[in-house]
Amino acid sequence: MLTIGKLGAQAGVKVPTIRYYEQIGLLPEAGRSAGNQRLYGRKALERLAFIRHARDLGFTLEAIRDLLSLSDNPEQPCVAADAIARAQLAEVERRLARLTALKAELERMVVQCVGGKIADCRVIEVLGDHSLCSTDHRHPESESSP
């Protein structure tokens, strides 16, 4: 049996994050010790490691919630899980495309600046005028982190 701190250390997840996951129902309520401290077993560690890994791969908590409930039914077909993964792949590919364009623009900006006064700075100039950009990098819609 692991305390929350050991569990977090094993899974690479901070203690408040574990409590947060429990609060939003991603982890089941942990059993408690006599002194009211959470205690975890091997299954909880596996589940938390799954969450951590999926987060590392950029899945949202909502997607992870679905993946977890799928993995709780091992006899079901896996098409739904695969669809979630493919959607995540598509999302990553979209971000990749956008970041590639951003990188190109940022490189252009910093390379073109010859380093004088702000009034002549190419960085400031380009930021003020998208028509100076070489690509259409504008923000289409929603994203999030990884």
Partner DNA sequence: CTTGAAGCTATAGTTGCTAGAGACATTAGC
Partner DNA sequence: GCTAATGTCTCTAGCAACTATAGCTTCAAG
Do residues 44 and 52 lie in contact, with contact meaning Cβ atoms separated by under 8 Å? no
- Tell me the closest approach of the beta carbon of residue 63 to DNA, in angstroms: 8
Length in residues, the chain: 146
Mark out the alpha helices in 4-60 (DSSP H runs): 4-11, 15-23, 42-56
- Asked if 34 is part of the footprint of DNA (rule: CB under 7 A), the reply reads yes
Which one, 25 or 139, has the nearer CB to a second copy?
139
What is the smallest separation between the CB atom of 19 and DNA, expressed in angstroms? 6
CA distances from 104 to 5, 37, 107, 122, 134 (A): 43, 52, 5, 15, 8
Q: Does 61 bind a second copy (CB under 8 A)?
A: no
Q: Residue 32 or 56: which CB sits closer to a second copy?
A: 56
Please, what is the minimum distance in Å from the beta carbon of residue 21 to a second copy? 15
As to burial, measured by CB atoms within 10 angstroms (0-12 exposed, 13-18 middle, 19+ buried), residue 58 is: middle
Q: Site for a second copy (CB under 8 A): which residue of 58, 60, 61, 65?
A: 58
Residues near DNA, by CB under 7 A: 3-6, 8, 14-17, 19-20, 30, 32-38, 55, 60-62, 144-145
